Chain A
Amino acid sequence: MPEEIRVLSPIAILGYGINEESLRRGMAMNPSMIGVDSGSTDSGASYLGAGAMYQSRKSMKRDLGLCLAAARSAKIPLIVGSAGLAGSRPHVAWLIDILEELAREQEQRFKLAIIRSDQQKPYLERALADGRVKPFIGVAPLTQEAITACGPIVAQMGTSPYVAALEAGADVIIAGRSCDSAIFGSFAIWKGYDRGVALHMGKILECAAMSAMPPTGRDPVLATLREGSILLEAPNPDRAVTPRSVSSHMVYEVEHPFLQEEPEGQLDFSAVEFEPVKDGRATLIRGTRFHRRNVATHRFEGAARRGFVSFMIGATRDPGLIAQIDAFCVGTEQQVRELEGAEQDFHIDWKLYGRDAVLGPSEPLRGRTDLHELGILAQVLAPTQERAHDVAALLEARMIGFAYPGALTRTAHIAFPFAPLVTDGGGCYHFSIMHIVEVEKHDDLLDLFPIEYRSIGAVHG
């Protein structure tokens, strides 16, 4: 029977701002490792596509520094997965750079494992040709054209590379794109725990105290594993983990409440039981099942650029214009299209804030015209930033000058709050690859997710 282990998740995403007092309380509970899920596809495709960073270096350094100091002083592993949100090469490199700076400042010595998740197009092309690629619900089947047009591609690693790094004696692991569950669960699997319990724990821990009441991603939770059970509690006494808080969190951001696909198989929560313990402050979870798959599958994520955007934000306080705003949008766009002549290489998108910008066609009140004020976001998509900017500038001028029936003003129809009026938004990215790839039986997972070891601080044994 494996020894009891305690896994601490200090924060939902590294860089959100760790609560230091809660971290101290968590460390006082004697954790066996610290894990942080640093990533998500939730914030859109531009972080992967353009290699952009989600957090500032300052906030990332603060949180990583707190975790590093805590883990090194307790001599326990620190595992950070999905580094820098997207987990691709520039994100991992950025986090390593910050970590090395912190190690110098804190005078720490440790063995670092770096696990990468960047994928090559030929591998995916081969998988496509072999019929080993399936789309997620709502995603079009993968095509050769989509692979060709795609920018950076990553795959979500499972537990194998993490277990290999732990086995090699890594003190700190910085990994690229990962399954949330693997970041925490791999440690438990390495310690001999059942895969279902280990991965279930990881699923719950990845969002830190989002599983507590009141929920927050900025406070820690601690999971204690014993054979077949997970005890979940919040070190901060102002929060409690209740059966309701944790069961409702388990279905957060997923389509299916009971079944979740992992690289090595399927997690099954249909028989899970929740028991309140410690005077209702903690919850004991039992009954997780895991259905193992013969061949591993990995989620591949790739971002492609649609083009470049430029936009304006403005508003109208004219009831006459608000009543005919659709005609205004169509009319100004038409004038821009006439002026652009043969160059029709752009798209214009309107968001009318105050009417239906949030829900679009699903807005039940979209027909309302008795609004006293209406916010307008007009954005242009074009093949280059320069084209997007130029078309947006033309559109801005038409919005200011468009003559509409019953206008009480001769010009200056729109209140724009900024100058310059046009803002260049950079590349517009989408997830053109969001597919499940079955690995080949003979594939070495370490080819997909290679590990590099470094001795940080000084010569390491």
Chain B
Amino acid sequence: MAETTHVPLRDLVTFLFSKNAGPYLVTFDILFRSRDAYQKAKKSGVFTAETFARLYKVPLEKVVSVYEYDAADMIKFTMIRDVSSSDFGDRSVFGAQQWAPLLDLPVPV
């Protein structure tokens, strides 16, 4: 039986993207490099609300949705921001640059 190896998510993607979906949500688009990489990611069972909550150290209910989007080989998830866009203490008005914790997420392939 072939041994399962893990690769960091950064090696499987074309785009990793975070952006506001309205001022109260930040949405993450994980666009895989190939159909094959996307299929492996889907099968891995890694891309769940639990995983994202753990990575971002937020309560599970802050992750409002996770979708597999076959048309673009994309996994998309959305979280409730802790501070709404431009309110006092906001860290990123556009919801930009929030994806770094995903870079090293190990994905079994």
Contact = CB atoms under 8 A, between A and B. Distances in A.
Interface string A351-363: 1000001111111
A43 interface: yes
A309 B88 contact: yes
Contacts of A361: 57, 82
Given A138-B80, A431-B23, A358 B98 contact: yes
Contacts of A257: 67, 69, 71, 74, 76
B64 A253 contact: no
Interface stretch (A111-119, A177-185, A233-241, A242-250): A242-250
Nearest to A215: B15
Interface string A296-314: 0000000000110100000
Given A41-B22, A255-B25, A358-B98, A243 B71 contact: yes
B23 A41 contact: yes
A447 B27 CA distance: 35
A358 B97 contact: yes
Interface in B62-100: 64-65, 67, 69, 71-74, 76, 78, 80-82, 84-94, 97-98, 100
Given A247-B72, A272-B71, A255 B88 contact: no
A252 B85 contact: no
Interface string A419-433: 000000000111100
B25 A362 contact: no
B68 to A, nearest CB: 9
Contact of B91 (A42, A137, A274, A359): A359
Contact of A255 (B21, B72, B84): B21
Contacts of B24: 136-139, 431, 434
B57 A349 contact: no
Q: Which of B23, B64, B92, B94 has the most CB atoms of chain A within a 10 A radius of its CB?
A: B23
A55 B18 CA distance: 24
Contacts of A244: 72-73
A137 B72 contact: no
Q: Which of A46, A244, A272 has the most CB atoms of chain B within a 10 A radius of its CB?
A: A244
Contacts of A255: 21-22, 25, 27, 64-65, 78
Interface in A333-385: 347, 349, 351, 357-364, 379, 381
Contact of A138 (B19, B58, B72, B81): B81
Contacts of B76: 251, 257
A45 interface: yes
A274 B71 contact: yes
A457 interface: no
Contacts of A272: 71
Contact of A362 (B15, B23, B56, B93): B56
B64 to A, nearest CB: 5
Nearest to A140: B24
Nearest to B17: A252
Q: Which of A43, A255, A363 has the most CB atoms of chain B within a 10 A radius of its CB?
A: A255
A358 B97 CA distance: 7
A256 interface: yes
Interface in B7-21: 15, 19-21
B104 to A, nearest CB: 8
B101 interface: yes
Contacts of B88: 306-307, 309, 347, 349, 379, 381, 428, 430
Given A138-B81, A431-B85, A256 B67 contact: yes
B19 A253 contact: yes
B22 A362 contact: no
Interface string B47-60: 00000000111100
A349 B86 contact: no
A431 B98 contact: no
Contacts of A250: 71-72
B101 A364 contact: yes
Contact of B20 (A253, A306, A347): A253
Interface string A37-68: 00001111110000000000000000000000
A1 interface: no
Interface string A60-90: 0000000000000000000000000000000
Contacts of A41: 20, 22-23, 85
28 contacts: A41-B85, A42-B93, A44-B23, A136-B24, A137-B25, A247-B69, A247-B72, A250-B72, A253-B20, A254-B27, A255-B25, A272-B71, A306-B88, A307-B88, A358-B91, A358-B92, A358-B98, A358-B100, A359-B100, A359-B101, A363-B101, A428-B88, A429-B86, A430-B23, A430-B84, A430-B88, A431-B23, A431-B84
Interface of B: 15, 19-25, 27, 29, 31, 55-58, 64-65, 67, 69, 71-74, 76, 78, 80-82, 84-94, 97-98, 100-101
Given A44-B23, A44-B86, A138-B84, 13 more contacts: A43-B93, A136-B24, A243-B71, A250-B71, A256-B67, A257-B71, A358-B91, A358-B92, A359-B91, A364-B100, A364-B101, A429-B87, A430-B85
